[in-house]
Chain A
Amino acid sequence: MKNKKAPFLFILPGVVLIVTFATLPILVAFVLGFTDMDLSGLVDFKLINFIGLKNYKEILLDEAFWTALKNTLYYVVVGVPAVVVLATLIAIAINFIAGKSEVWFRGIYYMPAITNIVAVSVVWMFIYNREFGILNYILGLFNIESIGWLSDPKFAKFSLVVLSVWRAIGLNMIIMLAAIKGIPSYLYEAANIDGLSMIQKFFKITVPQLKFAIFFVTVTTLIGWFRFFEEPFVMTNGGPLDSTLSISLYVYQQGFSLSEFGYASSISILLFIIIIVITAIQLRVRKKQEV
């Protein structure tokens, strides 16, 4: 009983970091969301006025916000399943390869995840470039008219999703691969004795055993896509015609480009609530499944 303090001391560094860099800023943002803080408010706190729910009322009437919300939902709905399915399939495929080449393939698929987004964006800008890009060059070989991958509002969102899926697969593939390696081999041995086919083994053993890993990957990926920011920030800056604007990017634009800190805070709080609610729902569903 004497040692009750010890566990607290162990978690202290982590708690301090989270409180200073996560909890406190969220609380500050929550308060700022009810103010009209702008650049002058930074100089003199006395110039900040509490304006109640005015920011939130304005958001409801803000067309750009609704566009950003719709775009973000598109990113989530298209991006999350793509990442989860592709990461799982690639992990399974890599698991089939034994020996040294497995290390190579793991490395290759992980590479995009550790490459700097700015470097990535330069390369992809050229791939997507309407006049000089390789994608349109290939289309040209089949006599298909060139497409403005990043400049046509119909395609820009999709182009960013492709890029982002490509970036996200690496990390999630590693998680799935670890989970696959953790499936006890006696399960497959028993299945072999019972004479199950490959497909049966996949659906009856692999998928159920991977349930938790898939759940984990889904939750983290979902949160990640709700906060989709880097790709539109470096590639399109939300354009053309706001077609790639995500909520996070909109927060950034309002806050840092236009110095509307109060308004930006209230949008970020809304995003925070959306993510919390959706994650809570997922945890609920997961619990029910387990029972």
Chain B
Amino acid sequence: MKKILSLLVISILVLAGCSSTNASDEKVVVWAMGNEGKMLSSMTELYMEEFDVEVEVVPIPWSEARNKLQTAVAAKEGPDLVQMPSTWLAEFSEVGALADLSEFTDEFANFDKSLYFDGIQGTMEYNGVFTSVPWFADASALFYRTDLLEEVGYTEPPATWDEFLDVSQKLVNQGVTTYGPDFYTGSQLLSFQGAYTNGWEHADAEGKPNFLDPKYAETLEFINQFFVQDLALFEDEINESLGFSTERIAMFFSGPWRISILENDYPELDGKWTVAPLPHNGTETAAISSANFVIWEWSQNKKATAHFANWMLEDEQQVAWYTEASVLPSKKTAWDADVLQNDEMVATFGKILETAQMPPFIPEWETLAQEVIKQTDIYFYGEQTIDETVEKIQLDVTKIVE
């Protein structure tokens, strides 16, 4: 019996041993998510040619990203450099998974707050610790079909909420399209960015959740009337690009990555669409988010990692990465490049970034955002009133934050 037990113990040890292989010290392992993961190796090859340091890119699908990061936290090892969305930074900073970068600020010029857009500077620090640098920025713009809007008399994009509603009504009533805009109600930022354009602040004077502010309720009501009047579907079913090309919708909100998708997959739409700032109700502020570089606390190779990150953040690489992956440079100076200035659509995004504002930067963001989506969904489905909705959100979010 003893033999059997010892055999059992040995086999467990063998199984456990399999998981703890570690990368050599000389290699920088980069975890890049989604689309970026697929394309980043084109940049790392350039870097390796220049510096003779091995950089390995591990592409991670978004659906597994959180899972992998949690596992890496538990194992206290894994990557050296991670691409992390700004909305997760606070959470992972708080548990101490992100290395303090302040020791690198003297050596590497791009680890400097003031170089980046105002809206995302706040992502770089959490609780006074410098834990990340923005790699690229993201914000939503209004994508619209210029030809269809022209048919109903709009030669300029709708700039205000009133115009946005008016153009939608005209499009639908005159039978130009089935629906006016499309709202992606599963988006974490939908109600936030809508409310920002209405002059809403997500925190009140004392820093408490501010969902009882009438400006937030107004925003939800404004969106909801599109559903009530059959000007938009409240489901996420329309594949936006497809709906755009088949003239089911004439407008939708999306990030810069959509430009290249529309250009490549729908060449027949060429010249029939462009982007504009979000329609506003007094305040031209969008919601900004970013993807940041963080160095994993348990990296054995922090300096080489910082060197690579710094190189990626040089203006030249920022612009090259824009050309490669159609994401927006996070660094203000990178925007002086001609490719960015001469492209009208990208320049529009650049303007949006200048004034855009960051959603709450707190560790509980993920829980908060899910709660907001859930409650606003119930409202959009007509299962609760607007007053009940905002009260519920305020109550639950207050509980979450505390």
Inter-chain residue pair count (beta carbon < 8 A)? 80
Q: Does B97 contact A (CB under 8 A)?
A: yes
A256 to B, closest residue via Cβ: B67
Contact indicator A259/B233 (Cβ below 8 Å): no
Contact indicator B381/A150 (Cβ below 8 Å): no
A12-B7, A257-B366, A258-B366 given as contacts; is B66 within 8 A of A42 (CB)?
no
List chain A residues, Cβ under 8 A from B374.
242
Which A3-27 residues have C-beta < 8 A from chain B? Answer: 5, 8-9, 12, 15-16, 19-20
B233 to A, closest residue via Cβ: A130
Which A89-148 residues have C-beta < 8 A from chain B? Answer: 129-132, 148
Find A43's partner among B66, B95, B243, B378 (CB 8 Å cutoff). Answer: B95
Find A130's partner among B12, B237, B370 (CB 8 Å cutoff). Answer: B237
CB distance from B310 to the nearest CB of A (A): 27
Q: Does A40 contact B (CB under 8 A)?
A: yes
Contact indicator A42/B8 (Cβ below 8 Å): no
CB distance from B239 to the nearest CB of A (A): 7
Q: B228-252 interface mask toward A, CB cutoff 8 Å, 1 = contact, 0 = none?
A: 0000010111110011000010000
Contact indicator A130/B67 (Cβ below 8 Å): no
Q: A254-274 interface mask toward B, CB cutoff 8 Å, 1 = contact, 0 = none?
A: 001111000000000000000
B400 to A, closest residue via Cβ: A258
CA distance in complex: A148, B234 (Å): 11
List chain A residues, Cβ under 8 A from B370.
253, 257-258
CA distance in complex: A241, B380 (Å): 10
CA distance in complex: A42, B233 (Å): 42
Q: Does A207 contact B (CB under 8 A)?
A: no
Q: Does B45 contact A (CB under 8 A)?
A: no
Find B97's partner among A15, A43, A151, A258 (CB 8 Å cutoff). Answer: A43
List chain B residues, Cβ under 8 A from A241.
377-378, 381, 383
Contact indicator A256/B70 (Cβ below 8 Å): yes
Contact indicator A240/B381 (Cβ below 8 Å): yes
Contact indicator B237/A259 (Cβ below 8 Å): no
A260 to B, closest residue via Cβ: B367
CB distance from A258 to the nearest CB of B (A): 5
List chain A residues, Cβ under 8 A from B96.
40, 43-44
Q: Does B94 contact A (CB under 8 A)?
A: yes
A40-B94, A42-B73 given as contacts; is B8 within 8 A of A19 (CB)?
yes
Contact indicator B238/A131 (Cβ below 8 Å): yes
Find B70's partner among A5, A42, A242 (CB 8 Å cutoff). Answer: A42
Contact indicator B97/A132 (Cβ below 8 Å): no
Q: Does A77 contact B (CB under 8 A)?
A: no
Q: Does B205 contact A (CB under 8 A)?
A: no
Contact indicator A240/B377 (Cβ below 8 Å): yes
B235 to A, closest residue via Cβ: A151
List chain B residues, Cβ under 8 A from A131.
233, 237-238, 243, 248
CA distance in complex: A151, B377 (Å): 11
List chain B residues, Cβ under 8 A from A5.
3-4
Contact indicator B4/A12 (Cβ below 8 Å): yes
A240-B381, A257-B366, A258-B366 given as contacts; is B74 within 8 A of A42 (CB)?
yes
Contact indicator A151/B74 (Cβ below 8 Å): no
CB distance from B218 to the nearest CB of A (A): 23
List chain B residues, Cβ under 8 A from A129.
237, 239
A259 to B, closest residue via Cβ: B70
Contact indicator A20/B66 (Cβ below 8 Å): no
List chain A residues, Cβ under 8 A from B74.
42
List chain B residues, Cβ under 8 A from A183.
none
List chain B residues, Cβ under 8 A from A40.
94-96
Could you say which of A12, A20, A42 has the most chain B C-beta atoms within 10 Å of its C-beta? A42
A153 to B, closest residue via Cβ: B381
CA distance in complex: A40, B91 (Å): 9
List chain A residues, Cβ under 8 A from B248.
131
CA distance in complex: A122, B25 (Å): 41
List chain A residues, Cβ under 8 A from B70.
39, 42, 256, 259
CA distance in complex: A137, B70 (Å): 43
List chain B residues, Cβ under 8 A from A239.
186, 377
CA distance in complex: A240, B233 (Å): 13
List chain B residues, Cβ under 8 A from A12.
4, 7-8
Q: A49-70 interface mask toward B, CB cutoff 8 Å, 1 = contact, 0 = none?
A: 0000000000000000000000
B72 to A, closest residue via Cβ: A42
A12-B7, A240-B377 given as contacts; is B15 within 8 A of A20 (CB)?
yes
Q: Does B11 contact A (CB under 8 A)?
A: yes
Find B73's partner among A39, A130, A148, A240 (CB 8 Å cutoff). Answer: A39
CA distance in complex: A131, B242 (Å): 10
CB distance from A126 to the nearest CB of B (A): 9
Contact indicator B4/A39 (Cβ below 8 Å): no
CB distance from A23 to the nearest CB of B (A): 12
Which B94-134 residues have C-beta < 8 A from chain A? Answer: 94-97
List chain B residues, Cβ under 8 A from A8.
4
B7 to A, closest residue via Cβ: A12
List chain B residues, Cβ under 8 A from A9.
4
Find A39's partner among B3, B95, B186 (CB 8 Å cutoff). Answer: B95
Find B367's partner among A130, A242, A258 (CB 8 Å cutoff). Answer: A258
List chain A residues, Cβ under 8 A from B11.
16
CA distance in complex: A19, B15 (Å): 12
List chain A residues, Cβ under 8 A from B73.
39, 42-43
CB distance from A27 to the nearest CB of B (A): 14
Q: Could you list 7 further interchain pairs (A-B, Cβ under 8 angstroms) beyond the known A16-B11, A43-B97, A256-B70?
A: A9-B4, A43-B73, A43-B95, A44-B96, A131-B233, A258-B367, A258-B370
User: What are some 12 contacts across the A-B interface (CB < 8 A)?
Assistant: A9-B4, A12-B7, A15-B8, A39-B95, A42-B74, A43-B73, A150-B237, A239-B186, A240-B235, A241-B383, A256-B67, A258-B370
The 7 closest A-B pairs by CB, nearest first: A151-B235, A40-B95, A42-B74, A130-B237, A42-B73, A39-B95, A16-B11
